[in-house]
Structure 1
Amino acid sequence: MLGTIGKLLLFLATIILSSCKDEPDQKTIPPSMKKKEVVYQVFARLFGNTNTTNKPWGTLEENGVGKFADFTHTALTEIKELGVTHIWYTGVPHHAVIADYTSYGISNDDPDVVKGRAGSPYAVKDYYNVNPDLAIDPSKRLEEFKELIKRTHKAGLKVIIDIVPNHVARNYEGKTNPEGVVDFGASDDTSREYDVNNNFYYIPGEAFKVPEWQDGYLPLGGDENRLADSKFEEIPAKWTGNGSRLAQPHFNDWYETVKINYGVRPDGTKDFEQLPEAYRQKKYKEHYEFWKDKQLPDSWLKFKDITQYWLDFGVDGFRFDMAEMVPVEFWSYLNSNIKMKSPDAFLLAEVYNPALYRDYIQKGKMDYLYDKVELYDSIKHIMKGYGWTDHIPVVQKGMADIEHHMLHFLENHDEQRIASPDFVGNAQLGRPAMVVSATISTSPTMIYFGQEVGEPAAEDAGFGKPTRTSIFDYIGVPHHQRWLNYKKFDGGQLSDEEKHLRDFYKRLLNFTIKSEALMGDYQEIHFYNKDNTEGYDHRVLSYVRWSKNENLIILSNFDEHKNYSFALKIPEDVIAKWQLKDGKYPLTEELYGTTNANMSIANGRGEIQLDLAPLQSYIFKVGN
C-alpha cells in the first residue's frame, strides 16, 4: 500500500493531469483524502412548527407551519454539531397548496388535484420559486430562502433541495420564470399524444376527470371549499405522473401530477441518441462533450436551466425524485452540465431497481443512490426479528464495486418511523442498525429529522396517516418539538431516554465524519466467527474497517433481550493486512469508551473476550 506521502503525490499528479485531459472522478481520489458525509433530511414546513394542536386536516392557522426563518444560526449549529455535513431541505420548490395566496399573485390550487391540505412537495407548481408557506412575507420568499442558504453555509453545512424531473403539478404555472423561459406545456401540440418537443403526453379528444374517491376519502377531509367539486378542467387530459394513460386516473395513481415527456414515445422507443456503452467508464466532462452538439428534447433543456438557476442561487446539490422513471441518457446530460458548473455538487437519486443501479451511477453520473432494496430492507427485517445478520455481508459483497455510491438510511419521508408500531415500535432498536448503516461502507449516511429523538409519527394528520410523518398536511412533530423547545433548540423538553438517544446519534455521526478508516477498506469477519466462535449468533454482526493509520473492529447486537459473551476472533489474513505481531493490543471504544478490552494475538490470530449487552454496539480502535 502507498504511504501517506505517496498517496498525496498520486493525488496531486491526478489533479495536474486532469487539468490537461479531464477531471478526476471519485474513484481516482484516495479515500484517505476524504471523510464520510452525513445528510440531515428535514421537512422544512414542519421543522420550526411549535403548534401542538394536530387536528386532522387542520388548516395552516389551526395546526401551524414552520418557516425558513426558524432555521436560525443556533438551530443550524445544533444540526451541524450532531455530526452533519449536508442538510436536505425537503419541500422547498413551490408546490400546489390550499392556502390562499391570491393577494401575492399566486392562483389558488384545486383540492381535487392536491393531496392533503398542505400539498405534496412532489407536485411542483413553479420551479423558479419556493413554497410561500415557508416565508414570513410571501412576496419576499425567494429572498428569505437565499438568506437561509447563507445561514446554512455560515454554519458549515451544504444545501440540498429536491428536483422532481418525472412529473409536475397538474396546475403548473410559472409566475416567476426568468426572462426567456417558456412554461412547461406552453408550446405543446396538444392535438397529438406525443411529440418529441412536447413537455407532456396527451389524451386527445378526452377531458380529465378527477378520480373516484375511495375508502371514505374526501378532499380536505370533507371541509367546504368552492373548488372542491370533483371537477378540474384539463382539456385534453394529460398522462398522470406515474404513467397512467387514463383520462380519469385511479385514486391510487399520482393523480395530482402530470408526467414529463423526455422524448420517449408511447411505445417505449426513444427520439434521442443513445449513449455508447463505453461512456460507463468516461467522466462527466466527456459526457458533457457528447451531448453539447446534439438535438435534444425540450424537456431536457428546461430541467437543465432549472438546475443551473438553483446552482446560481447557492444550492450545493440535488435530490432527484423517482430518477429511474426518467431515461438514463437524460441524467448523463443533466448531471454532466451540473458538474461542469459545480464539480462538487452532491447528486442523490431515488432509484429502487438494483438492476439499474450501475446504469444510473456509471452512465447517468449520479453520485449516490438510495440503498433501500438491499441494505435498508435487510436491516429492517433483522430489526423486526425475522431477518438474520448473515444477509448483510452478502449484500455488501454484491455492492462492492459501487458501495461508495449507495447512500444509507434508516428513515426518510417515505419510510416508516423506527419507533412506529408498524416498524418496530421502539427507537432503541435503531441503535445497532444505525451503527451498521453508518460504518459498514464509505457511502454517505442520512438521517431524518426527529429520528435522533425517537419520533414515532403517531398523528392522524389527515391525508397522511400514522407511521410516517405526514408530507401532505400541516402538522406538529411532537418528539421533535420537545427538542425544539419553543425554538431554543436545546432539547429542554426531552425525556432522559430521548436525550440519551440523541447523544448516541451525536457520538456515532461525529465519529463517522472524522474517521479515516471508514473511507478505507472493509472485510466481514461474521462468517469466520459463526464457524469458529462459541456463543456467536446470527443476531450479532461483526466486520473490520481500516486505513493506513486506523484499524477498527465493529460489532453490533441486534437482539433486544439477549446478552452475548464470547471470544471474538480476528482472522489471520486481517492481522496480516494490519501488519500486527503476536502480543496484546489495547482497544479504544470510540462510542462511549466504557470498556478496557484488549486484543490478544497468538499465532497470527486475534482474539477479544467480550460481553455484548442487548442492542449494544462496539467500535474498537486498535492501539499500538
Structure 2
Amino acid sequence: MKKKYFIYQLLPRLFGNSSSANVFNGTIEENGCGKFNNITIDILKKIKDNGYTHVWYIGILAHASTTDYSVYGIPKEFPEIIKGKAGSPYAIRDYYDVDPDLAVNVQERMAEFEQLIKRTHEIGLKVIIDNVPNHVARNYKSVSKPLNISDFGENDDVTKAFSPQNNFYYLPGQHLEIVHRHGNIKENKYVEFPAKVTGNDSFTNRPSQNDWYDTVKLNYGVDYLNNNEEWFDPIPDTWYKMKDILMFWADKGVDGFRCDMAEMVPVAFWRWSIPQIKAKHPGIIFIAEIYNPSMYRVFIDKNCFDFLYDKVGLYDVLRDVSCGYRPSSDISFTLNNVGDIQKNMLNFMENHDEQRIASDYFLKNGTKGKAAMIVTSCINTNPVMVYAGQELGEKGMDEEGFSGRNGRTSIFDYWSLSTLRRWNNNGLWNDNLLTQEEKDLATFYKNLINLCNDEDAISGGLFYDLMPANYENNEFDSTRLFAFLRGYEKDILLVVANFDSSEKKCTVEIPMHAFSFMHFNNKSEGLLIPLLNKSSEDISFRNDKSSILKIAAHSGEIYRISFM
C-alpha cells in the first residue's frame, strides 16, 4: 500500500538557529541564522521516524535581504524595497541561486544545499522546495544563471506597458515611489524607471504597505488592462524562462515544488510546463497554493497539478469549529464541496502564512488542536502538512521586527523559536529541554502520523461520513463531535473527534449501508480497539446496539472495529 504523504515544512533560517539573542529587528550578526548544515542526518532521521515522507524546505531560493554579500559578487540590496532584515523568501532575487544566509561557506552555498538534498534522500525522505512563478524581487538580477539564458527583463521593451514577449509589466513615464511606515529607513536610494507593476497585480507607481511592494509581477502573456486578453501564441518568453528554472531544480534532485500563488499565473502555462518536467522526472509532484475554489478542478485537470491547498475549505472550517464559531457538522458540507477531488487537497492546520494553533489569536494552547489534527490527518488519502514547531506547541507570539506580534512566526526577520531552539539543544536534537507538555504533544503527533501510514484503511481506504446518520441521535452532539469511518478490505476504523472543552460521552450510530459501502460482510459482535490511546480499554461492540464512548476534550480516538 502506498504511504500517505506527510510533509514537514521548515524554514532553515529559523529551524537550525540555536542563538537565543533575539534582538528586535536584529541583524544576522546579532541574532544568528540556521544553516543547511544544521539539518543533519540525525535530525532528518528523527523527522523520518516521526512519520513524515517529505520535507518542504522554504526560503531556499536566493531572495532579497539587507545582509551585504557583495564581497562574493552578489549585488548589494536596497532596504527600502525589502521586508525586514532577512527579507521575504518570496521576493526572489536570483532563481538560479540559494540563500547565502544558509551557507557556512558562502562560496560553496550551492554545494551545501546539494549535500542537504543528498542527506534527505539518504534517510528516505523526499525534498520539496518553493517555486515562485508570479513575481520576483524588485531588483532582480541573476548572477548564477547559465550563460545561455538571458535575465528577466533583459530584452524587454520598456516603452510598452504590455508586450507578450516582455517579462514585466511597465508604467511608462512613471517613477516608482515607495512610502514606508518604518522609520529606520532614512532615504530611498532605489531608482526604478519606468516603474514596474507590483507582484499582487497592483498597477500603480505608488504601491502601499499592504501591497507586495518588494516584488514585481511577471508577464505570462495576459493583458490585464485590456479584458485579460491572452497572448499565448507564440509562446511568451516568460514561459520558457520559468520552465527552464523548474527543470534546473528538478535536475538537482528536488522531488516536488510548492508553487507560490499558482492561481495568479495562467493555467495554460502550467498545462504546458508541468508535463515537460514530469516527462524527464517521473514522480515529481506539483502543489498549487490556490484560494479560489471555482478554479480547483481546472488546476488539477489535464496533467496539471497533483495537489492543491485546502485553506479556504477544510482549514477555515476546522479553525472555526475548533474555536467554537461553527458546528462540527459544517465539516461535512465543506468536504462535500471537494468530494470528487478530496484526494488532491493538501490539508494542514499551520503553515508559514497562518497563525499558530497555540497563539493567542487561535486556541492559545497546542494541545487544543488535537481534534482538528485528527480530522485533518485521517479524513482521506490526500497529503497532510505540519509546520515545524506545530508539534511542540510553538505559540508564534514573538515580536521579531518587521513581523509584529501577530500569532505568526516571522519569515522576514533573523530570529529563533524557543521550542525549536530547545529541541535543537545546540545540535543534539533531543527533547531534554522541552517541557512535559511539549513532549506529550510531540508524542501525539508522532503516534498519529505513524498510525495514518501504518493503517491501510487511512492511507488508502474508503471514507464514510457518519454525521448524517447521527443528526437525530440524542447521545451524539453533532455541534461539537465529528465521526467517520475509514475502511480497506477487511479492516474498518471508526474515528471520533471532540472539539469541545470538556469530555464527551456519546454513542455513534453506524448504518448497515456503511458496511456494504466498505464492501464488508459484517458480523454482529466485536470490539472497538483504541489505536491512539492504547492504554484505554477495548469496548464491546454490537452492530444493533450503540457502544458508549468517552472522548477527551479537544481530542479524539481512532478505533479498530474487530468483529468476532
Amino acid at match of 1:590: L
Measure how far apart 1:343 and its partner are. 1.9
**Greater shift in the superposed pair: 430-439 or 592-601:** 592-601
Deviation of 1:564 after TM superposition, in Å, equals 1.7
Higher percent of residues as helix: 1
Between stretches 513-522 and 379-388, larger displacement belongs to 513-522
Give the C-alpha shift of residue 567 in structure 1.
2.5
Structure 2 SS opposite 1:531: coil
Equivalent residue in structure 2 for 1:563, among 483, 490, 503: 503
Q: Percent identity?
A: 42
1:590 to 521, 527, 531: 531
User: Separation in 2 of the partners of 1:237 and 1:606?
Assistant: 71
Which residue number in structure 2 is paired with residue 64 of structure 1? 32
Alpha-carbon deviation of 1:599?
4.9
2:237 is the alignment partner of 1:298: yes
After superposition, the Cα gap between the structure-2 partners of 1:545 and 1:332, relative to the gap in structure 1 and judged at 3 Å, is: same
Which residue of 2 is the match for residue 360 of structure 1? 299
CA shift for structure 1 position 476: 0.7
The residue matched to 2:472 in structure 1 has which SS?
helix
Equivalence for 1:278 = none
What corresponds to 2:151 in structure 1? Answer: 183
- Give the direction of change, closer, same or farther, for the CA distance of 1:173–1:581 in structure 2 (3 Å limit): closer
Q: Distance in 2 between matches of 1:318 and 1:410?
A: 20
Q: Distance in 2 between matches of 1:410 and 1:551?
A: 26
Q: Work out whether residues 571 and 606 of structure 1, in 8 Å CA contact, stay in contact via their aligned partners in 2.
A: no
Q: For residue 611 of structure 1, what is the amino acid of its counterpart?
A: K
Q: Matches of residues 489-568 of structure 1 in structure 2 within 5 Å?
A: 489-518=429-458, 519-560=460-501, 562-568=502-508
Secondary structure of the structure 2 residue equivalent to 1:481: helix
- Superposed CA deviations along residues 592-614 of structure 1, whole A, max 9, x for unmatched, are 21333335335xx4622211221
For 2:46, the equivalent position in structure 1 comes to 78
Q: Which residue of 1 aligns with 2:71?
A: 103
- State the Cα RMSD in Å: 1.4
Give the counterpart of 2:375 among 436, 446, 452: 436
Identify which of 350, 359, 366 aligns with 1:420: 359
Question: Which letter maps to 1:298?
Answer: D
The one of 396, 404, 415 aligned to 2:335? 396
The CA deviation string for residues 431-484 of structure 1, in whole angstroms up to 9 with x for no partner, is: 011000000121100000000000001211111122100000000111111111
Change (3 A) 1:576 1:206: closer
2:478 maps to 1:478: no
CA distance in 1, matches of 2:173, 2:441: 58
State whether residues 311 and 342 of structure 1, in contact with CA within 8 Å, keep that contact through their aligned partners in structure 2: yes
- Give yes or no for contact 1:96–1:123 (8 Å, CA) kept in 2: yes
**2:234 corresponds to 1:261:** no
Q: What's the counterpart of residue 200 of structure 2?
A: 242
Code of the residue aligned with 2:409 in structure 1: it is: T
Tell me the CA shift for residue 364 of structure 1.
Answer: 6.5
Task: Tell me how far 1:346 sits from its aligned partner.
Answer: 1.7
CA contact (8 A) 1:120 1:471 kept: yes
| Matching of residues 14-33 of structure 1 within 5 Å | 33=1
* 1:149 paired to 2:107: no
Matches within 5 A, 1:30-69: 33-69=1-37
Q: Which amino acid aligns with 1:425?
A: K
CA distance in 1, matches of 2:359, 2:333: 28
Aligned-partner Cα distance in 2 for 1:551–1:570: 12
- Cα distance, 1:312 vs. partner? 0.8
Map 1:131-280 to 2 at 5 A. Answer: 131-210=99-178, 212-214=179-181, 217-218=182-183, 222=184, 229-265=187-223, 266-273=225-232
Paired residues of 1:328 and 1:364 also in contact (CA < 8 A): no
- Aligned-partner residue type, residue 119 of structure 2: R
- Does the alignment pair 1:127 with 2:95? yes
Q: Equivalents in 1 of 2:362, 2:212: separation in Å?
A: 25
What corresponds to 1:574 in structure 2? 514
1:461 correspondence with 2:419? no
In 1, the alpha carbon distance for the partners of 2:266 and 2:478 equals 44
Quote the Cα distance in structure 2 between the aligned partners of 1:601 and 1:237.
72
- Please say which of residues 493-502 and 481-490 is displaced more in the overlay: 481-490
Report the equivalent of 1:329: 268
Give the letter for the 1:415 counterpart: E
Counterpart CA distance in 1 for 2:296 and 2:255 is 23
- The answer (yes or no) to whether the contact 1:570–1:606 under 8 Å persists in 2 is no
Question: Aligned partner of 1:194: which letter?
Answer: F
C-alpha displacement of 1:95: 0.3
Contact preservation (8 Å) 1:199, 1:298: yes
SS at match of 2:55: strand
- Residue ranges of structure 1 left out of the alignment (5+ in a row): 1-32, 274-293
**1:613–1:139 distance in 2 versus 1, CA, 3 Å:** same
Output the CA distance in 2 between the equivalents of 1:473 and 1:126.
20
> Do the aligned residues in 2 keep the contact of 1:597 with 1:608 (CA within 8 Å)?
no
Distance 1:370 1:599 in 2: 40
C-alpha distance in 2, partners of 1:193/1:581?
A: 68
CA change 1:152–1:480 in 2 (3 A) is same
- Aligned letter for 1:176? S
Aligned length, in residue pairs: 559
Going from structure 1 to structure 2, the CA distance change for 1:537 and 1:269 (only over 3 Å counts) comes to closer
* Residue 535 (structure 1) shift: 4.6
Residue 610 of structure 1 aligns to a residue whose secondary structure is strand
Kindly state the Cα deviation for residue 388 of structure 1 after the two structures are TM-superposed.
0.9
The TM-score with structure 2 as length reference comes to: 0.97
